[in-house]
């Protein structure tokens, strides 16, 4: 079977790199995620990767505890660069070619984000890891992922989480929670019980008709299943 998508933007939370730790980066967790990504990449799928920083530092949480919001957000951006370098190391150790591009210039460790260069890397078969969000405070990595997906002409945003899609209520607390196979952008934004990604990230996708697919990354092989079009999550589109 051929993959359903040829170029994707994969957004994973920093928690995916925790493993059995409470804080920081687990090399084994990085390897587990990298193995799934390489499995899809070997099918010929072009991949842009955005990683959050929840395993190291959350700008919003820090700002609530006294750090000035813009400063806290910049600190969070730097944490995403650390995660990007960890994933680059894990991917290249299993034979995948990568490039890290950052929205904040730091030439000693990564390229600066240049849209056409990133596209060219993907066309050459390199996995492009996009770090430091958009380079602006008050913007989340979810919004950064939506923006990069549009800039790089991706077909879909794959939002990898720890649950298998979007539910009508928290499935961790309510065993009778119902999973949606599809839903609309409007429902994703307006329903307070639904958490797909932040409102600005969804709105950016809605304005440009970029589909979002929410699935569970922690189930081995699920990334490949999502790429192949299997029903393992929730597809968010204009029509639902």
pLDDT (tens digit per residue) in 91-130? 999 999 999 999 999 999 999 999 999 999 999 999 999 9
pLDDT (tens digit per residue) in 56-92? 988 778 777 889 999 999 999 999 999 999 999 999 9
Sheet holding 127-131, edge to edge: 111-112, 98-102, 127-131, 46-51, 7-12, 156-161, 212-216, 234-237, 182-184
CATH architecture of 7-237: 3-Layer(aba) Sandwich (3.40)
Question: pLDDT-derived band of residue 152, with 50, 70 and 90 as boundaries?
Answer: very high
pLDDT (tens digit per residue) in 197-214? 989 999 999 999 999 999
Residue 39 token pair: 């499995």
Asked whether 160 and 218 are in contact (CB, 8 A), the reply is no
State the DSSP H helix or E strand holding residue 66, giving kind and residue range, or none if neither.
none
Asked whether 7 and 155 are in contact (CB, 8 A), the reply is yes
Query: CA 31 to CA 67: how far, in whole Å?
Result: 33
Give pLDDT, residue 168.
86
pLDDT (tens digit per residue) in 24-57? 999 999 999 999 999 999 999 999 999 999 999 8
Higher pLDDT among residues 151 and 240, named by residue: 151
The radius of gyration computed from the CA coordinates of the chain, to the nearest angstrom, equals 17
- Reported residue count of the chain is 240
DSSP letter at 141? Answer: H
Please give the model's pTM, rounded to 2 decimal places.
Answer: 0.94
- pLDDT of 155 > 90? The answer is yes
């Amino acid at each position: 079977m051929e993959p359903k998508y040829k170029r994707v933007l994969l957004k994973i939370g920093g928690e995916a790199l925790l493993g059995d730790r409470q804080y920081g980066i687990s090399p084994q967790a990085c390897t587990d995620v990298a193995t799934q990504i390489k499995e899809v990449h070997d099918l010929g799928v072009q991949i842009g990767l955005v990683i959050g920083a929840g395993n190291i530092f959350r700008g919003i949480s820090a700002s609530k505890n006294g750090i000035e919001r813009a400063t806290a957000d910049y600190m969070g951006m730097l944490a995403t660069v650390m995660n990007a370098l960890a994933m680059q190391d894990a991917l290249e150790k299993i034979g995948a070619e990568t490039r890290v591009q950052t929205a904040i210039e730091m030439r000693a460790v990564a390229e600066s984000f240049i849209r056409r260069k990133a596209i060219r890397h993907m066309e050459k078969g390199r996995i492009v890891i996009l770090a430091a969000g958009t380079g602006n405070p008050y913007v989340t990595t979810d919004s950064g992922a939506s923006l990069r997906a549009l800039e790089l002409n991706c077909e879909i945003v794959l939002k990898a989480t720890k649950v298998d899609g979007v539910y009508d209520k928290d499935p961790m607390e309510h065993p009778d929670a119902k999973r949606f196979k599809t839903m609309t952008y409007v429902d994703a934004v307006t329903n307070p019980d639904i958490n797909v990604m932040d409102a600005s990230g969804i709105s950016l996708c809605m304005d440009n008709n970029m589909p979002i697919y929410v699935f569970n990354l922690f189930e081995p092989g699920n990334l490949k299943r999502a790429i192949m079009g299997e029903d393992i999550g929730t597809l968010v589109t204009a029509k639902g």
